[in-house]
Amino acid sequence: MDRSLENLTIGAFAKAAEVNVETIRFYQRKGLLPEPDKPYGSIRRYGEADVTRVRFVKAAQRLGFTLDEIAELLRLEDGTHCEEAGSLAERKLNDVRAKLADLRRMEAVLSELVCACHARQGNVSCPLIAALQRGKVHQRA
């Protein structure tokens, strides 16, 4: 165990976890991170387990998990619920794939509109503005 990651103040904890202090407090309010006891007349101290937990939360966020989904993953964190965690990850993967499909359709429509804008000549109204005003921007399936 890394002794430098024990008995940390909130500032040192935030630095070790590579987040800011407000992130620590936010995670505590959301129930993602326990708030340690505050000994009478002293300050709260954090340890390696807290740093590991924050790193877990940040890694899950980078994969697109919401804070609610991360709370569920933390509930399963003992590693004995792989099937449940896998199901949650599979739902997230399906969401990501759907978003990618939506982004591809958006890209195709925007590409067509940009080309139409570049191809216009004279005092013709802008195809992009006209399409948006009509509300008739069709995405290819």
CATH number of the domain bearing residue 20: 1.10.1660.10
Residue at 130 is within a domain:
yes
Q: Compute CA distances 136 → 78, 104, 117, 125, 128, whole Å.
A: 50, 18, 16, 15, 11
| DSSP-derived secondary structure for 89-112 | HHHHHHHHHHHHHHHHHHHHHHHH
- The verdict on residue 9 lying in a domain is yes
The reported pLDDT for the residue numbered 139 is 57
Tens-digit pLDDT profile for residues 3-25? 577 889 999 999 999 999 999 99
Asked if the structure places residue 141 within a domain, the reply is no
pLDDT at position 1 is 46
Q: Across all residues in the chain, what is the average pLDDT?
A: 89
pLDDT tens per residue, range 69-103? 999 999 988 778 889 999 999 999 999 999 999 99
Selection from 49, 46, 56 nearest residue 76 by Cα: 56
54-57-61-65 Cα dihedral, nearest 10 degrees: -170
Residue 140 included in any domain = no
Whether 31 maps to a domain, the answer reads yes
Asked whether residue 37 is assigned to any structural domain, the reply reads yes
Over residues 111-139, mean pLDDT? 80
The tally of domains found in the chain comes to 1
**CA 110 – CA 6 distance, rounded (Å):** 52
The answer as to whether 95 is a domain residue is: yes
Q: Which domain holds residue 120?
A: 3-134
Backbone angles phi, psi at 46, to 5 degrees: -120, 160
Domain-embedded: residue 139: no
**Which pLDDT value is given to residue 3?**
58
Please state the pTM of the whole predicted model. 0.75
